Amino acid sequence: MLQSPYQSVQVSAVPSQRTPVRDDEAGPWHAEAVCRRDEAGLFFAPSKEPTAARLSREEAAKQVCARCPVMVDCREHALMMPEPYGVWGGLTAAERRVVLARRRRRDVELAKARPIAAAG
């Protein structure tokens, strides 16, 4: 099992609490977040974090997300906002950028295909 250098950090907030989010925007998933009570320090990088430490911390955060009952809701929230920093819904900020780029490409392809389908 991967040991994070931040393993002893106590939870003080859900990732979404780092950014002001109204309860009605966050949805009911917010109250069930596992990171509300565990390892909140895993989810955001301290300044000047070395690459090896970042990779270890992000992996540890993803392990927390993997046992979270609201991972899908959290991930969609982070993609829709979009949240620019931290691990949300088991994805790093870089991974979320990849997902969003794929969705944009898919939307463009679907928009191109619509007139063809309507004409046929």
Contact footprint for ligand SF4 (CB under 6 A): 14-15, 33-35, 43, 64-65, 68, 70-71, 74, 88-90
Cβ-contact 89, 75 below 8 angstroms: yes
C-beta of 106: minimal distance to ligand SF4 in Å?
23
Closer residue to ligand SF4 (CB): 5 or 27: 27
Name the H helices within 5-70.
Answer: 15-18, 23-26, 51-66
C-beta of 115: minimal distance to ligand SF4 in Å?
39
Closer residue to ligand SF4 (CB): 60 or 74: 74
C-beta of 120: minimal distance to ligand SF4 in Å?
42
Cβ-contact 35, 11 below 8 angstroms: yes
C-beta of 75: minimal distance to ligand SF4 in Å?
7
Closer residue to ligand SF4 (CB): 35 or 60: 35
Residue 71 burial (CB < 10 Å; 0-12/13-18/19+)?
A: buried
Q: What sign has the CA pseudo-torsion 96, 100, 103, 109?
A: negative
